[in-house]
């Protein structure tokens, strides 16, 4: 029997590929834009040392920076997304590398601006703001700069840090190439006994298999492959953590975590409160694990038994076309304007749908201010892929609304709120399915899937967040991160989060080696806070209707025109209290009870 294999890029139908020509029609146009950025770089010299001269000079400098930002965004995004189509493509490896180097030059060329603004007498800046109507546009941007005064260095030091930025990206770039382009997994036997190449894209599909032997083989094969290079993965992650610590110290922050979350003006108490609140509900997580063990009729529950649906009679094979229809039905509560834009995205090649050889794993939404948003998928015909589509289109429409309503300066929303729109979409699609499903087995299957979203997004991401906090503390206290120490920390956290009912298979200790988000430190906690905020929005939209939709769409249109905590508060969700996280986990508790009843 012929072994199934991944298709090459050329074998993927054109209708299933995104249309990056909406950014640049061809590589020649990209080269011209690259050259334009290089030319524009030099124009900053006329502003350097003169920002205090007149309001017009300062405004001119802001406009130059915004233009430069807009153009480098297009140059870098196009190159990187082309590379993501097939990471082995040498042409787009080179274009991405060139674009990355140019982006560092862009950052360096504008490095004089913030130090000059901070050195400017406060009265002079207030005078500019009082005498120039145009200055009002920059009120929020200036506030965001001035509040960080104690963390901004001299012009010379800022320039040096900007130039070091390219080196700081090396650990993540090395991990990405090793993980996506070079790492190959052996073949395993699927449920039919057919030899199939294991990939990062189909791994979860195998973990959802109802045959424990298939799950076990996929689990062990994946992690044994990572284990063979554990010291390389450890050295790479250690370098990334050291880079985080270096930049935090350079900018006079007490810790790397405080440096990171200050970008969103999020208090450290929000991060710690998330971990503490989740720990409060770990008994409910353990209760869910016990239910899983009982429902699967297993004497021992292993880490490779965590993903399999616990309603074995139900299987859901959902094509991409069916997934799109489910999305449109589930998101009707968001109103006609939202649905119209969603349909446009689904129909007009915003999305790169299927996995192919060399393609970047996972899923994301990206794009540029001048183009529409884009979505990268690695679609499998599973329920999970339906929710991935819902998730990424949530990001895409958040971007669309912010781009439509905000100037480029404020269009890019902060990461803290980025996961709200995506997980709200998932919640509404799930609520629709729970409402319309009559078959008890399918209903139990869906509740199980919803519980998995809670487990994967609140519990698992908070475990990741706690792991990040711990490994950065090790380095900040002068310790060393080795493969063994990373694995020990990671294994111990799994023991706490999953409880005594789960056999901690030794392979799980190396899972940290395959998580790309660890190279963007203190990011993952935002999945958990975003999920909690999204749960609050979903309940309001379903309960109140139009008034809640209006508040939500205004939030989506906010970009970075205010701080993320404030944007959420204005829309009715206060993340500075533990209430949204606690309420979300009470929904989790109710779902566990409901599933216990269905499976009794």
How many domains does the structure of the chain reveal? 1
- Which DSSP string corresponds to 71-137? HHHHHHHHHHHHHHH-TT-HHHHHHHHHHHHHHHHHHHHTTTHHHHHHHS-HHHHHHHHHH-GGGGG
Beta bridge partners of 301: 502
362-390: burial string, b at 16+ Cβ within 10 Å, e else: ebebbbbbebbbbbbbbbbebbbbbbbbb
E strands, 308-406, are 351-352, 364-367, 373-376
Instruction: Name residues whose C-beta falls within 8 Å of residue 424's C-beta, 6 or more positions apart in sequence.
Output: 394, 534, 537, 538, 541, 552
Tokens at 573, concatenated: 């969700």
Does residue 35 belong to any structural domain of this protein?
A: yes
**How many angstroms separate the CA atoms of 49 and 194, rounded?**
69
Q: For each of the chain's 600 residues, which pLDDT tens digit applies?
A: 345 788 999 999 999 999 999 999 999 999 999 999 999 999 999 999 999 999 999 999 999 999 999 999 999 999 999 999 999 999 999 999 999 999 999 999 998 998 899 888 888 988 998 988 999 999 999 999 888 888 988 878 988 998 888 889 999 999 999 998 899 999 999 999 999 999 988 998 899 898 999 999 999 999 999 999 999 999 999 999 999 999 999 999 999 999 999 989 999 999 999 999 999 999 999 999 999 999 999 999 999 999 988 886 566 789 999 999 999 999 999 999 999 999 999 999 999 999 999 999 999 999 999 999 999 999 999 888 999 999 999 999 999 999 999 999 999 998 889 889 998 999 999 999 999 988 888 899 899 889 988 999 999 999 999 999 999 999 999 998 999 999 999 999 999 999 999 999 999 999 999 999 999 999 999 989 999 999 989 988 999 999 999 999 999 999 999 999 999 999 988 898 898 999 899 989 999 999 999 998
pTM for the whole structure: 0.79
* Active-site choice (208, 392, 419, 507): 392
Does residue 143 belong to any structural domain of this protein?
A: yes
User: Residue 102 maps to which CATH number?
Assistant: 1.20.140.70
Does residue 325 belong to any structural domain of this protein?
A: no
C-alpha distances in Å from residue 250, one per residue of 177, 253, 254, 255: 29, 8, 10, 11
Does residue 119 belong to any structural domain of this protein?
A: yes
CB 388 within 8 A of CB 377: yes
Does residue 107 belong to any structural domain of this protein?
A: yes
- Which DSSP string corresponds to 159-193? HHHHHHHHHHTHHHHHHHIIIIII----EEE-TTS
Does residue 53 belong to any structural domain of this protein?
A: yes
Does residue 344 belong to any structural domain of this protein?
A: no
Does residue 85 belong to any structural domain of this protein?
A: yes
Instruction: Name residues whose C-beta falls within 8 Å of residue 86's C-beta, 6 or more positions apart in sequence.
Output: 9, 92, 356, 357, 358, 359
Residue 16, domain extent: 9-168
48 is catalytic: no
Tokens at 103, concatenated: 């982006």
**How many angstroms separate the CA atoms of 313 and 445, rounded?**
9
């Amino acid at each position: 029997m012929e072994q199934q294999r991944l298709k090459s890029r050329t074998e993927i139908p054109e209708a299933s590929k995104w249309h990056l020509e909406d950014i640049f029609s061809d590589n020649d146009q990209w080269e011209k834009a690259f050259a334009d950025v290089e030319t524009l770089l030099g124009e900053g010299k006329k502003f350097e040392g003169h920002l205090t001269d007149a309001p017009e000079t300062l405004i001119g400098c802001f406009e130059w920076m915004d233009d430069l930002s807009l153009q480098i965004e297009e140059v870098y995004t196009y190159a990187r997304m082309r590379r993501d189509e097939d990471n082995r493509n040498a042409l787009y490896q080179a274009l991405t590398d060139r674009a990355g180097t140019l982006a560092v030059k862009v950052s360096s060329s504008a490095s004089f601006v913030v130090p000059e603004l901070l050195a400017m007498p406060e009265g002079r800046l207030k005078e500019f703001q009082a005498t120039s109507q145009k200055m009002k546009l920059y009120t929020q941007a200036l506030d965001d700069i001035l509040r960080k005064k104690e963390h901004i260095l001299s012009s010379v030091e800022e320039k040096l840090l900007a130039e070091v930025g390219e080196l700081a990206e090396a650990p993540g770039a090395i991990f990405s190439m090793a993980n996506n382009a070079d790492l190959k997994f052996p073949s395993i036997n699927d449920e039919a006994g057919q030899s199939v190449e294991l990939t990062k894209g189909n791994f979860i599909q195998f973990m959802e298999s109802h045959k424990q032997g298939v799950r076990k083989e996929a689990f062990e094969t994946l992690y044994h492959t990572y284990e063979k290079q554990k010291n390389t993965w450890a050295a790479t992650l250690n370098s990334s953590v050291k880079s985080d610590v270096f930049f935090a110290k350079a900018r006079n922050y007490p810790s790397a975590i405080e440096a990171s979350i200050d970008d969103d003006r999020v208090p450290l108490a929000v991060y710690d409160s998330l971990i503490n609140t989740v720990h409060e509900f770990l008994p409910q997580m353990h209760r869910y694990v016990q239910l899983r063990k009982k429902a699967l009729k297993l004497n021992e529950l292993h880490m490779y038994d965590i993903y399999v649906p616990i309603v074995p009679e139900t299987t859901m094979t959902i094509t991409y076309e069916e997934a799109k229809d489910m999305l449109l039905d589930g998101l009707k509560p968001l109103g006609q304007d939202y649905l119209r834009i969603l349909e446009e995205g689904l129909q007009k090649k915003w999305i790169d749908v299927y996995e192919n050889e060399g393609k970047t794993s996972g899923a994301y939404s990206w794009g540029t201010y001048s183009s529409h948003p884009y979505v990268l998928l690695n679609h499998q015909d599973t329920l999970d892929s339906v929710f991935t589509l819902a998730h990424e289109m949530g990001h895409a429409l958040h971007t669309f609304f912010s781009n439509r309503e905000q100037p480029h300066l404020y269009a890019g929303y902060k990461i803290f709120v980025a996961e709200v729109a995506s997980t709200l979409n998932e919640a509404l699609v799930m609520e629709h399915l729970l409402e319309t499903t009559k078959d008890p087995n399918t209903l139990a299957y869906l509740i199980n899937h919803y519980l998995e979203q809670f487990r994967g997004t609140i519990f698992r991401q908070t475990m990741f967040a706690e792991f990040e906090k711990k490994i950065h503390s090790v380095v900040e206290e002068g310790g060393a991160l080795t493969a063994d120490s990373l694995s020990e920390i990671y294994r111990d956290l799994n023991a706490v989060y999953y409880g005594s009912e789960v056999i901690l298979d030794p392979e799980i200790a190396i899972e940290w080696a395959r998580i790309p988000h660890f190279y963007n430190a203190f990011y993952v906690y935002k999945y958990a806070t975003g999920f909690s905020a999204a749960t609050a929005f979903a309940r309001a939209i379903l309960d109140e209707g139009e008034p809640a939709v209006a508040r939500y769409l205004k939030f989506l249109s906010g970009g970075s025109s205010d701080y993320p905590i404030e944007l959420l508060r204005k829309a009715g969700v206060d993340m500075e209290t533990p209430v949204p996280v606690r309420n979300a986990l009470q929904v989790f508790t109710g779902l566990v009870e409901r599933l216990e009843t269905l499976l009794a």
